[in-house]
Amino acid sequence: MDLTAAAFALDRAEQRRDVRGSSEGTTLQSGGDSASVVGLRRVSKSFGPIAALKDVSLDIAPGEIRGICGENGAGKSTLVKILTGVYRPDQGTVLVNGAPASVATPRQAQELGIAMVAQELSLCPDLSVEDNIWLGSLRVPFLHKRPELRRRAAEALALLGADHIKLDALVASLSMGERQLVEIARLLTRDARVLILDEPTATLTDVEIERIFAALIALKREGRSVLYITHRLAEVYAICDRVSVLRNGELVATSALTGLDRAALIELMLGRPSGEMYPEETRARGAPALVVEGLTLPGVVDDFAMTVRRGEILCIAGQVGSGAAEIVAALAGLVHNASGRVSVNGRPLKLGSSARAAQRGIMFVSGDRAAEGVFRRLSVLHNLVATRLRDHSVFGILRTGTLRAAAGRLAMRVGVDRRRMRSRAEELSGGNQQKLAFGRSIERKADGVLLMNEPTRGIDVGARAEIYRLMRAFCEEGYALVMSSSDLEEIVGVGDVVITLYRGRQVGHYRRSEVSMHRIVADITHPVDQVP
């Protein structure tokens, strides 16, 4: 089972053939491209002076899994919101089964069979799976037959290959991936014919991702269509039949994935060749900056050890829940019950306080920007200088001049437009917000250690390359970088040293030259003694 997961993520070419094979029947039945379950005709939508969508036409065939790609702000979410009745187009029409249809409210969209799988799931954790599936459904008559509802709920789950989910289980007891399957089942009982998924895999483990993919392929066999929005190109290749690329509100291409290589897809998204995504390895390595021994987080991580040198990026690879992110957070002083011997530049550091860690030059960039990354309501300037007020104050009084100058320097270093200094952080794109988090973490007097959790989660391809370049630049300056990641491409692309983790235990330790995706996938899905 786990090996299939590995194959799924990796051998995309083969996988694509697989998917295509299974879909041939339905595609033929539907008569090729001319049939469309849902479509857009010359749709435009503006918000004030900003055109979010310009003249977009699109057709989704029955039984098609369509990828939607584009950088942040390309118009993906506007497109989805028009299809689901949240926004109305300024111009153009929405077509359902080839005929113009009014999709003015989310409820109308639902009645037409267009359903969005909510990202922040709309399930009630304290109710059972069955109750959640039927909750709020207009198809349940006042005098209903309970066995009948039960049977249909079970059928919907079975269709998704999720028979293992018990109808009486509380949703609170399910994993994120299982909840997503319940959510999809719930939409199926409402006869959804087009399901829209927006970054469904961001919080899932590889095994769960595989389950979701299997469910989507089952839907496709049934002749239902899926709109799949993601930043992870590997997933587009693994699951989608065709991909539509949006750029600055325009639909730049809709293409079959066979024959479209990844570089070409990235170029479509960016409008220019991507250049090198991952910069060159740093030449010089320095002394060990951070040495960790016997790090234990009760119930999560057991006896973890590592050494990070200046000028290198150490990557802790593991699935969500493996403890990789928790190790990084613990080193940042954010886990209270962490124990172990940690030394920074040769001097021991007691864990458990982020302020103490910061004083020793350990800075932390969170993967969860909204919750613990940026100060959304504060200005770009104040976000950039958040950690270094002490360096720019005398007896607690700030020296605004030098503070401003420092912020300007930092903005330039991390590549944030200096004219946006007074904008609130929340007005910036995800990529730029992440740059703020980097900006405030560097240029301390101490020889720094930079800790990162999933540094590019939810960040588009263009900004991602910039973040990687930034990380390399810090290496060149002598920073030691530690990051946790569950993104295979990223791990292989940027890690100078990769430590693989499975359920809180180290599995492997590789130098850059020894790293391969296959090894990592095998490692992070198996306990030490069972790695094939």
Partner 1 sequence: MSEQTLPGTWQFDWRLPLPHSRRGKVLVAIRAIAVLALVAVAVATPGFFTPVSLFSLLNTTSFIGCVAIGMTFITLSGNIMSFALGVTLSTSGIVFMAVLPLGLPAALILALAFGAALTGIQGFVVGYFRANPIIVSMAALALITGCATLITQGQGVYPQGEAAAALKGRFFGIPMPVAAFLFTTVIAQVVLSFTRFGRQLYMVGSNWRAALAAGLEPARIVLGAYVAAGLCTALAGILMAARYSSGDLELGLGYDYSAISAVLVGGTAISGGEGSAIRSLVGAFIIGICQALLLLNGFSTQIQYLVIGVIVLLVIMLQTLADAE
List of residues contacting partner 1 (CB under 8 A): 50, 73, 248, 332-334, 354-355, 357-359, 363-364, 366, 371-378, 382, 386-387, 389-390, 393, 396-398, 400, 408, 412, 415-420, 422-424, 427-429, 432, 440
Which residues 6+ apart lie within 8 Å of 264 measured at CB? Answer: none
3-state secondary structure of 522: helix
- Residue closer to partner 1 by CB (options 38, 380) is 380
Which residues 6+ apart lie within 8 Å of 52 measured at CB? Answer: 45, 46, 75, 78, 249
- Residue closer to partner 1 by CB (options 167, 473) is 473
Which amino acid is present at 331?
A: L
Structure tokens at 17: 């053939």
CB 200 within 8 A of CB 39: no
Which amino acid is present at 132?
A: N
- Residue closer to partner 1 by CB (options 432, 485) is 432
Beta bridge partners of 351: none
- Report the nearest approach of partner 1 to the CB of residue 332 (Å): 7
Half-sphere exposure of 231 (CA within 13 A, CB side): 20
Strands 38-47 and 313-317: unpaired
Largest CA distance in the chain: 77
Sign of torsion over alpha carbons 317, 321, 325, 326: negative
- Residue closer to partner 1 by CB (options 255, 354) is 354
- Report the nearest approach of partner 1 to the CB of residue 176 (Å): 20
- Residue closer to partner 1 by CB (options 126, 417) is 417
The total of other beta-carbon atoms located within 10 Å of residue 195's CB is: 24
Sign of torsion over alpha carbons 154, 158, 164, 169: negative
For the beta sheet containing 50-60, the strands, ordered from the edge strand earlier in sequence to the opposite edge, are: 50-60, 38-47, 91-96, 99-101
- Report the nearest approach of partner 1 to the CB of residue 51 (Å): 10
- Residue closer to partner 1 by CB (options 162, 357) is 357
- Report the nearest approach of partner 1 to the CB of residue 231 (Å): 17
- Report the nearest approach of partner 1 to the CB of residue 396 (Å): 5
- Report the nearest approach of partner 1 to the CB of residue 516 (Å): 33
- Residue closer to partner 1 by CB (options 172, 389) is 389
- Report the nearest approach of partner 1 to the CB of residue 402 (Å): 13
The total of other beta-carbon atoms located within 10 Å of residue 128's CB is: 16
Tell which residue, 372, 380, 368, 458, has the closest CA to residue 426.
380
Distance CA 470, CA 486 (A): 20
Helix orientation angle between 176-189 and 146-159, rounded to the nearest 10 degrees: 120
- Residue closer to partner 1 by CB (options 185, 338) is 338
CB 257 within 8 A of CB 243: yes
- Residue closer to partner 1 by CB (options 223, 333) is 333
- Residue closer to partner 1 by CB (options 158, 412) is 412
| CA-derived radius of gyration, the chain | 25
- Report the nearest approach of partner 1 to the CB of residue 457 (Å): 15
User: What are the φ/ψ torsions at residue 37 (nearest 5 degrees)?
Assistant: -75, -45
- Report the nearest approach of partner 1 to the CB of residue 285 (Å): 26
Q: What is the number of H-type helices and E-type strands within the chain?
A: 18, 22
Tell which residue, 221, 234, 213, 228, has the closest CA to residue 65.
228
Place of tokens 């291409």: 253
- Residue closer to partner 1 by CB (options 186, 472) is 472
